[in-house]
Amino acid sequence: MTDLFTRHGPMLRAALAALQSREFWTPFSEIPSGKVYGETAKAEAEAAFAALQGRAFDLPGHPESRRLGQEQSPYGFPLGIDYPAAAPAALVAASQAAAPALAAAAPERRVGICLEILVRLNRMSFLMGHATMHTTGQAFAMAFQAGGPHAQDRGLEAVAMAWSEMTRFADAARWEKPQGKAAPLVLEKHWTLVPAGIALSIGCNTFPTWNSYPGIFASLATGNPVIVKPHPAAILPLALTVRVAREVLAEAGLPADAVLLAVDAPGAEVTQALAVDPAVKLIDYTGSNAFADWLRDHARQAHLFTEEAGVNSVVIAACDDFDGMCSNLAFSLALYSGQMCTAPQNLYVPAGGIETDQGHKSFDAVAQGVADAIDVLLSDPARAAGVCGAIANPATLQRLDAARGLGRMIRDSAPVGAGRSASPLLLALEAGDPASEAECFGPVAFFVATKDAEEGIARASTLAAQKGAITGAIYDTDAARILRAVQAFAGAGVNLSVNLTGNIFVNQSAAFSDFHVTGGNPAGNASLTDTAFVAPRFRRVMWRRQLRA
């Protein structure tokens, strides 16, 4: 097991090269194919998923005072899995007990372990697809990708950044200061990397692995034991992850408790108690601004990394491929029924319409073009189910129902395919309507009428700076105006996609190339994965002694 670092060295080096160049790269195929994952992988995963249901989840040696778990598939059945649960103090104590051995392990050893965990998780991507599908509501193909290889990519990216940062400076030096004609002063110096403390990873319902892996792996690689706190509705993907991590840690001779699972039940949440524990020094959080505010106010002892909510916008100023634009936006709005943190909500269109390759299009014609493209996209029930998936949280459907009265109806929402589902609701609003200036999470989008395209750019970027945004998009044919949009969105800390018409969407954020969230607006203070995401997770402490010259 000591050669894990050597074994996975080529993958690490390729990841480091990709991080620098930001070019396309991944070691984890996103294609759910037997040719890649083995011809029996699909069937074995189905059997494994069936075998997990209605059973106690096995997590050998994990602290346990009782069993908890009430996950319900958005496709209409209970998972019936219960997980070991323990009081926050017991989890913290177990984590603290594991900390010294993890801190003392060389960076090579910890990084080797992290890489091995990721490779094993990759092999079980089909099972992770089922686990993700039936906790988040994502359709299988998306659940496979986002819960499996794309999440693994984000984990690997964090490990590579952690390695880069841990090895950025020499770990020892001979410091020789000239003293004129006298003998030089000579010091021998050594630096130890000292982890920050216990890391708490707070997962979300919609992307339990994709959003949690960066923090989990950045903390573990830099020597911090991790307590993984899943959303009560999406435990299984992270429980599987924790199990693999514990297996690899134990095989490598480190304490399995360096990675723990903190399961709780609605009404008896443990997140707050864990977050304010003095031993918890790092918190990675994905979720609402309101709970992030609570963490900021109360978990003052910890360094907090957040991805929160925001309002993503598209400015439609002009286009030279109207059909391509409408199809592209239709997919972005329908994909996972708008439950992505990167999904657009506001589409700013000049009230007087826009110029296109099909001539002038009125405001209503633009909105209708997108609505029609959604109808085409979802016309086949199987494809509709595959695109929209199901709604993770029943509250999203209630929000959708309440939204119907907010504006002029362009396209109504309706159930699609299997499970608790809903296609996009499209409404038209006037610029400045309060409904357009708050997040309405789920399959709801607003066509917002502006005086002109410049007002759309100004409103979208101002709203992003005030309320947060993770993505922005513009369709335009005026190079000077595009440049102004680039500057306005950059100033608001929003990544901007320009004139996407093909099989690439504003929602998509690729590891090793796209920094996800910039940290520059209220949608989050952390960016996946930049230096600031890993550097504060450990400190360099020196000892030095004098040598005779």
Residues that bind a copy of itself (CB under 8 A): 19-24, 165, 168-170, 173-179, 185, 187, 189-192, 194, 196, 296, 300, 486, 489-491, 493-504, 510, 513-515, 518-520, 527, 530-532, 535-536, 539-546
Q: CA–CA separation, 410 vs 425, rounded Å?
A: 8
Least distance in angstroms from the C-beta of 138 to a copy of itself? 21
Least distance in angstroms from the C-beta of 472 to a copy of itself? 9
Q: CA–CA separation, 202 vs 385, rounded Å?
A: 29
Of 266 and 502, the one with the shorter C-beta distance to a copy of itself is 502
Of 75 and 191, the one with the shorter C-beta distance to a copy of itself is 191
473: nearest Cα among 489, 450, 453, 454? 489
Of 44 and 323, the one with the shorter C-beta distance to a copy of itself is 323
If phi > 0 it is left, if psi is from -120 to 50 it is alpha, else beta; for residue 201 that is: beta
* Residues 131 and 236: beta-carbon distance below 8 Å: yes
219: nearest Cα among 280, 146, 297? 280
Cα Dmax for the chain: 87
Of 9 and 491, the one with the shorter C-beta distance to a copy of itself is 491
Q: 262: buried, middle or exposed (CB in 10 Å: 19+, 13-18, 0-12)?
A: buried
Of 132 and 518, the one with the shorter C-beta distance to a copy of itself is 518
Least distance in angstroms from the C-beta of 536 to a copy of itself? 5
Q: How far is CA 392 from CA 132, 136, 138, 268, 338, in A?
A: 11, 5, 8, 21, 11
Least distance in angstroms from the C-beta of 54 to a copy of itself? 39
Residue with tokens 């997108």: 370
Question: Can you list the pairs that 405-410 forms with residues at least 24 positions away whose Cβ atoms lie under 8 Å?
Answer: 406/433, 406/435, 406/440, 406/446, 407/433, 407/435, 407/446, 410/364, 410/367, 410/368, 410/371, 410/447
Of 414 and 532, the one with the shorter C-beta distance to a copy of itself is 532
Q: CA–CA separation, 415 vs 413, rounded Å?
A: 7
Least distance in angstroms from the C-beta of 240 to a copy of itself? 28
Q: How far is CA 372 from the centre of its chain?
A: 31
Least distance in angstroms from the C-beta of 401 to a copy of itself? 36
281: nearest Cα among 91, 537, 94? 537
Give the DSSP H or E segment for 331: helix 322-334
Q: CB neighbours of 545 closer than 8 A, spacing ≥ 6?
A: 187, 188
Of 83 and 533, the one with the shorter C-beta distance to a copy of itself is 533
Least distance in angstroms from the C-beta of 97 to a copy of itself? 15
Least distance in angstroms from the C-beta of 219 to a copy of itself? 15
Least distance in angstroms from the C-beta of 513 to a copy of itself? 5
Q: CB neighbours of 279 closer than 8 A, spacing ≥ 6?
A: 92, 95, 96, 197, 198
Least distance in angstroms from the C-beta of 56 to a copy of itself? 38
Of 258 and 428, the one with the shorter C-beta distance to a copy of itself is 258
Q: CA–CA separation, 69 vs 310, rounded Å?
A: 30
Least distance in angstroms from the C-beta of 487 to a copy of itself? 8
Tokens of 12: 């690490």
Of 15 and 52, the one with the shorter C-beta distance to a copy of itself is 15
201: nearest Cα among 244, 242, 140? 242
